[in-house]
Amino acid sequence: MEEVRHYYVVAGPFYMALAFVIWFVAFVLPLILVLRKAGYSGWWILLFFIPLANIIGLWIFATARWPNLRDRDQT
């Protein structure tokens, strides 16, 4: 009986870097732009990388009064 071998391909550094750039442009950059338009610092994106904190942060941003709306309502 023949032995079955499984070969796993490990992506090289170039492909890993390319995947990171695509992921960054597709997800992180738009989130930073939304946060800045809402009046928050783009550094809040760091919550995106912390499990459970990202869900809590999403609910906080969804229910809080955005700074840009506060400024608009005062004028």
Provide the 10 A C-beta neighbour count for residue 35.
Answer: 19
Q: Which residue has the tokens 């700074």?
A: 67
d(CA 25, CA 7): 31
The domain locations on the chain are: 13-74
Query: Which pLDDT score is estimated for 74?
Result: 66
Position 52 scores a pLDDT of 93
Which pLDDT does position 25 carry in this prediction? Answer: 93
- Looking at residue 1, what is its pLDDT? 61
For residue 56, what is the DSSP state?
H
| Contact call for residues 38 and 67 (beta carbons, < 8 A) | yes
Tokens of 3: 């032995």
Q: What is the pLDDT along the chain (75 residues), one digit of tens a residue?
A: 667 676 666 678 888 889 999 999 998 899 899 888 888 888 888 888 899 998 998 898 888 887 777 666 665
